Structure 1
Amino acid sequence: MGSAGGGNANAGKEKKGQAETGGPVPEEAQKCCGCRFPSLVALLQLLLGVAVAAVAFLMVAISSSLLARETPHWAGIIVSFLLLLPQLPACLVYSFGRASAQFIVKLLYFFLCTMGLVISAVVIAFQCYHYALTNSYSCKEMGEHCMCTLDPEDPIARTFSYSGVTDCSAIVSTLPMYYLLQMVLNLAQAIVCLVGAFLLWKHRYQVFFAGLQTGSPSAQNWQKV
C-alpha cells in the first residue's frame, strides 16, 4: 500500500514538472478550434471583405458606367467566401479529426490566404491607377452625362463618359475618395491574409524540436525553439 501511494505521488510530481517545464500537454486541453486555427484572422478577413463589397456598391450608385475593375465588389465577395470556406470543416477536424485531415485544412487555408493576398494586390493596383486618373480629370455636364477629359485644350484627348450623373463633382471629388478608401481596405485585407498565411507557416515549419531535454528524464520532454 505504501509503495502504491508513493508511486502515485511521484507520478503527480512528474506531471506537475512536465507542466512547469513545457512538457507534453494532454490532447483534451488542446481541443479548441479558436486556439489552434486562426479564427480571429478569418473574422477580420470577413469584415474587410464585406467592407470592400459595400464601398464598391456605393461607387456603383454614383454612375452605372463604372467598370468592374473600378468597383471591386467581386474582390470583397470572393475573398470573404473563400476564406470562410474552411472554417466549419476546420472546427470539426480540430475537434474530432486526424492529423492528416488537419494538415489538409491548413494547406487549403494557406492557399486561400495566398489567393486573397493576390486579389487584394490586383485591386490596389487598379484603384491606384483610377485614383491618379480621376485626379487629372476636367469634367463638364451634358444632360445626364458627365464628360471628362485629361486635357481640355487637346481636341483629340481621350474622353471618359459617365452616365446617370447630374453633378460632375461626384466624379471629380467623391469618386477619388472611394478609390482611396478601397486602397486602404484592400491593403488591410492583404495584410490580414499575409498574417493568416504566416501563422500557418510558422505553426507548421518554424517550431521544431532541438533535441534538448529539460527537467524530467522522460524521453518525451523536448525543448521547442
Structure 2
Amino acid sequence: MGQGQKGSSDQEKKAMKKRSGEGPAPEDGQKCRVCRFPLLVALLQLLLGVAVAAVAFLMLAISPSLLARETPHWAGIILCLVSILGFILYCITSVPDERNSVQFVVKLLYFVLCSIGLVISVLAMAFAGHHYTQTGNLSCKSAGEDCVCKLDPSDPVARIFTYRLVSDCEEITGTLTMYFLIQIILNLAQALVCVVGAFIMWKHRYQVFFAGLQICSPSSRQWEKV
C-alpha cells in the first residue's frame, strides 16, 4: 500500500512539473493575442481615416479658397497611419513581460499616436463645428466666377468671405454645410475609436499581471493570474 501511494505521488509530481514547464495553453495564447490588439479597432481606424480624407478632398473640390482647417484631410491621413501601425502590432508575435524590444516600442508608439489622434480628431471636430455654424448663417451672392458671402448683410463692416471659382452659392450654404456636418460625425467616431485603442493598450500593460502567489509546491513555477 505504501509503495503504491509513493508511486502515485511521484507520478503526480512529474505531471505537475510537466504542466508547469509547458507554459500557457494555446487558447490562452490566442486570447492574449486578441486582447493585445483587436483587429476590429485597426479596421475602424483605417475606414474612418479614409472617409475623413475623402470628404475633405470633396470639400476642397468645391472651392480652392477653403483653408486647411476647413478641410481636415490631415486628420484622416494621420489616423490611417495609426491604423497601419496597429496592423503591424497585430502581426508581431506576442512575448510575455514585453521582453521583445520591438513589441514594446510599437506598443508605446501606438499608444502615443492614438492619444495624438484623439487630440487631432477633437480639434478637427471643433473646426468643423465652428464652420458649420458659420456657413449656416452666411448670406451669399454671385460675383462673376466667385461667391461672396457675409454674416450680416446689413452691417457695412461685417467680414466678407470670398469663395473663388464657385458659380452657384448654393454649394456654399448647402453642400459645404452638409460636408461640415459629416466631418463632425466622422471625427467624433475617430476620437472614440482612438480612445478605445489607447485604453486597450493601457489595460493590457497595467491591468493584466501576476500576483506572485504560488499555488503548488515551492519547486513548482505555476503562478496564479489575476
Range of TM-score over shorter length: 0.7 to 0.9
**Offset from partner CA, 1:140-196 (integer Å, 9 cap, x none):** 111211110011011111100111112111111111111111011011011101100
**Offset from partner CA, 1:101-138 (integer Å, 9 cap, x none):** 32222111101111111111110111111111111101
**Offset from partner CA, 1:41-97 (integer Å, 9 cap, x none):** 1111111000000101111121121111101112111221243135336523438x9
State the alpha-carbon separation in 2 of the partners of residues 35 and 204 from structure 1.
11
Match for residue 24 of structure 2? 25
> SS of the counterpart of 2:152?
coil
Match for residue 173 of structure 1? 174
Amino acid at match of 2:73: H
Is the 8 Å Cα contact of residues 62 and 170 (structure 1) preserved in structure 2? Answer: yes
Match for residue 49 of structure 1? 49
State the Cα distance separating 1:39 from its structure 2 match. Answer: 2.8
Match for residue 21 of structure 1? none
Amino acid at match of 2:158: A
Match for residue 75 of structure 1? 75
Q: 1:124 to 1:11 in 2, by over 3 A?
A: same
State the Cα distance separating 1:220 from its structure 2 match. Answer: 2.0
Amino acid at match of 2:224: W
State the alpha-carbon separation in 2 of the partners of residues 30 and 93 from structure 1.
10
Give yes or no for the alignment of 1:7 onto 2:11: yes
Amino acid at match of 2:164: S
Structure 2 stretches of 5 or more lacking a match?
none
Q: 1:28 to 1:210 in 2, by over 3 A?
A: closer
Is the 8 Å Cα contact of residues 85 and 106 (structure 2) preserved in structure 1? Answer: no
Percent identity between the two aligned chains: 58
Match for residue 154 of structure 1? 155
Aligned residues: 215
Match for residue 118 of structure 1? 119
Amino acid at match of 1:78: I
Amino acid at match of 2:64: S
Match for residue 221 of structure 1? 223
State the alpha-carbon separation in 2 of the partners of residues 27 and 57 from structure 1.
46
> SS of the counterpart of 1:161?
strand
State the alpha-carbon separation in 1 of the partners of residues 111 and 38 from structure 2.
11
Amino acid at match of 1:64: P
Q: 1:70 to 1:139 in 2, by over 3 A?
A: same
Q: 1:98 to 1:90 in 2, by over 3 A?
A: farther
Structure 1 stretches of 5 or more lacking a match?
19-23
Is the 8 Å Cα contact of residues 33 and 91 (structure 1) preserved in structure 2? Answer: no
Give yes or no for the alignment of 1:131 onto 2:135: no
State the alpha-carbon separation in 2 of the partners of residues 203 and 194 from structure 1.
14
State the alpha-carbon separation in 2 of the partners of residues 74 and 190 from structure 1.
14
| TM-score scaled by length of structure 1 | 0.82
